[in-house]
A and B are shown apart, each in its own frame.
Chain A
């Protein structure tokens, strides 16, 4: 991990080490989202982001993740990121001087990053009936076995590192190589992601979330 990414990790509530928060990726993904031809453009050419729908109902991930958590997480936390992201984008567009722009950078990073991370997160999960929890096959499985030794080893490593995150953060165990790093799978370990159901026992949350991970998306 290069220094820049390492430094970013520290800013995100102290999450350090293998937790990856890739700002370059955010810029890539944001560009992709902006290029969506169906998206309306504001008068200044600025895209206004909105809350993406979940590809399943709030209760569909039970018992691994409760409906209550899914609803709060999606409608409140994710929505807040989007609202604040849009606000920051408006402010930065309207900024008259460089110091103001610079000051808004962290708001863009935090809220934009939160929006992107959560958008990916919802697609990383799926109800059991739609394949959630089914281990990957094919090239992805091969890559996992190659890089981690075995599928079980990846799960264990990720759970351990997710449990070790101090404070708020994410664990992104799969990132494509090449010019731009893209998180293929991310697990939210902010407390809001599990507290109502698992309280302080984050390891139980991590153990159970594998039952609804959507490996097809990562593939």
Chain B
């Protein structure tokens, strides 16, 4: 998530075990006008793509957008709003809802809808009319550094997208040192840190992405039917927005740098404390003292 919140969650989220996971009703400290019963007031927005629905023709049809954005994406938004209305998650921004419902991997019901809303917004922004071509020099340099060559990256990305079994996504991510954003699982630092990595994920899960392609069948079936590889190639050659990737890379690097600074600070504080609580030992039984009765 390019603009993810870096601060840890400020509230505890309790979920009961068992077949019904109920969201805790918050004591209303905020002043919110209660609507009449029946109105859905949760306000996650069904954002349109940054272009018109036919702008990506002939590579991705208007018809596909009418279903994919108009029905699938909209359904995720509507269902999410229904799930969170009247709960703690209501009025939270989307990223925070995702973090909360990710729940260290023990997914809560709104997670699927929330994550899919976010994924689809990200996906529309990953494409543009007249897309394709090559990335910016900076992105290209990183790609060459971490994949060997642009061609090697494309091959790996296409393979990830083609082999994602069933429904899911393929991602180009910036795997910074710490992915410890709120509830997310923190992977151990490894030599893959600060690298570009291609990742695939099932259904709604996503890592910290720069670029994505939706490989749920609904994303390509009307235009390509079973020919997923053709869809992937068309995406890479005609649709991908490298501009968006560049912007997200900047944000990802900034966030990674900030996390490092936070850690540095935390480390220094810890070491500083040690030196204060560990002073020179006081001599208790010096040779000067004349306590001894013995003589």
User: What is the number of contacts between chain A and chain B, taking CB atoms within 8 Å?
Assistant: 64
Check if A199 sits within 8 Å of B226, measured CB to CB: no
Check if A12 sits within 8 Å of B166, measured CB to CB: yes
Say yes or no for A207: interface residue by CB 8 A criterion.
no
Q: How far is the CA of A79 from the CA of B125 in the complex (A)?
A: 35
Check if B221 sits within 8 Å of A167, measured CB to CB: no
- Binary interface profile of B, 199-228, with partner A (CB < 8 Å = 1, else 0)? 000111000000000001110011001100
Q: How far is the CA of A80 from the CA of B228 in the complex (A)?
A: 12
Q: Select which of A11, A14, A199 is within 8 A of B167 by beta carbon.
A: A14
Say yes or no for A195: interface residue by CB 8 A criterion.
yes
Q: Select which of B72, B112, B166, B222 is within 8 A of A190 by beta carbon.
A: B166
Check if B71 sits within 8 Å of A167, measured CB to CB: no
Number of interface residues of A (CB under 8 A): 21
Say yes or no for A196: interface residue by CB 8 A criterion.
yes
**Distance (whole angstroms) from the CB of A94 to the closest CB of chain B:** 20
Check if A14 sits within 8 Å of B217, measured CB to CB: no
Query: What residues of chain A lie closer than 8 Å to B165, measured between beta carbons?
Result: 11-13, 110, 168
Chain B residue nearest to A106 (CB atoms) is B165
Query: What residues of chain B lie closer than 8 Å to A195, measured between beta carbons?
Result: 217-218, 221-222
Q: How far is the CA of A13 from the CA of B221 in the complex (A)?
A: 17
Given A199-B67, A200-B67, A200-B75: A167 in contact with B222 (beta carbons within 8 A): no
Say yes or no for A173: interface residue by CB 8 A criterion.
no
Say yes or no for B168: interface residue by CB 8 A criterion.
yes
Q: How far is the CA of A167 from the CA of B202 in the complex (A)?
A: 8
Check if A168 sits within 8 Å of B166, measured CB to CB: yes
Say yes or no for A76: interface residue by CB 8 A criterion.
yes
Given A14-B203, A195-B222, 9 other A-B residues pairs in contact with their CB atoms under 8 A: A12-B166, A14-B166, A110-B165, A167-B167, A167-B168, A191-B216, A191-B217, A195-B218, A199-B71
State the B residues within 8 Å of A (CB): 67, 71-72, 75, 112, 165-168, 202-204, 216-218, 221-222, 225-226
List 7 tightest A-B contacts by C-beta distance, closest first: A13-B166, A168-B166, A191-B217, A167-B167, A14-B203, A76-B226, A200-B71
Please list 5 pairs of residues, one from A and one from B, whose beta carbons are closer than 8 Å in the complex, sorted by A's number. A11-B165, A76-B225, A77-B226, A167-B166, A191-B218
